[in-house]
């Protein structure tokens, strides 16, 4: 059994139009959402052993906001290929994962399509198809090795968005 925690980066800042897209930081709401996501993951026992993260600043800062709430220190791998990756690239990156529980942090529109294609049945949450900032899917795969992962093979275990965690 393998578990994937698939997270879209938290809300980023558009305050400085001169900052390159790759270098946009999180805004205050995004920082709070990342911390809330960390608490949610920890409270449910969804703890990654390996984190595959786009190398963009907003994805790295999302992880650094989540990490303090989690026990242990997972292996963090910055993956430039995940920056604005489509589903096929994301699957290719995932297939090289080593740990049983892996977190992947990426961007839309690719991450929304990746999530939809990964699971056999979408979670009932209406936000799933939109995959807003901070959206997080937890999916299980009945496989022995990530190299066997494929579209439609995942089972959605849980899904949330930061707005629900505020309530």
What pLDDT digit, counting tens, does each position of 45-59 carry? 999 999 999 999 999
User: Please, what is the Cα angle at 154 between 87 and 52, to 5 degrees?
Assistant: 50
Q: Does the pLDDT at position 101 exceed 80?
A: yes
pLDDT attached to residue 167: 59
Instruction: Give the count of beta carbons closer than 10 Å to the beta carbon of residue 8.
Output: 25
The pLDDT value given to residue 81: 97
For the entire predicted model, the pTM comes to 0.97
Map tokens 């505020």 to a residue: 166
Cα distance between residue 59 and residue 85, in whole Å: 13
- What lies within 8 Å, CB to CB, of 24 at 6+ separation is 12, 13, 14, 56, 57, 58
Task: Return phi, psi of residue 78, to 5°.
Answer: -80, 125
Distance CA 139, CA 102 (A): 10
Distance in Å from the first CA to the final CA of the chain: 32
pLDDT at 15 over 90: no
User: Where does 2-166 sit in CATH, by number?
Assistant: 3.40.50.1240
């Amino acid at each position: 059994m393998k578990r994937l925690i698939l997270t879209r980066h938290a809300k980023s800042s558009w305050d400085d139009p001169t900052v390159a897209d790759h270098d946009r930081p999180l805004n205050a709401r995004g920082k709070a959402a990342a911390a809330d996501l960390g608490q949610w993951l920890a409270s449910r026992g969804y703890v990654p052993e390996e984190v595959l993260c786009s190398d963009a600043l907003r994805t790295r800062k999302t992880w650094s906001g989540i990490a303090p709430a989690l026990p242990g220190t997972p292996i963090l791998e910055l993956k430039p290929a995940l920056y604005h990756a489509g589903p096929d690239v994301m699957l290719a990156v995932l297939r090289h994962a080593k740990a049983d529980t892996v977190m992947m942090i990426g961007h839309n529109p690719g991450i929304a399509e990746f999530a939809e294609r990964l699971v056999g049945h979408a979670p009932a949450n209406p936000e799933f198809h939109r995959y807003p900032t901070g959206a997080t899917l937890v999916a299980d795969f009945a496989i022995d090795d990530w190299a066997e992962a494929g579209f439609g093979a995942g089972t959605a275990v849980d899904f949330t968005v930061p707005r629900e965690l505020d309530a």
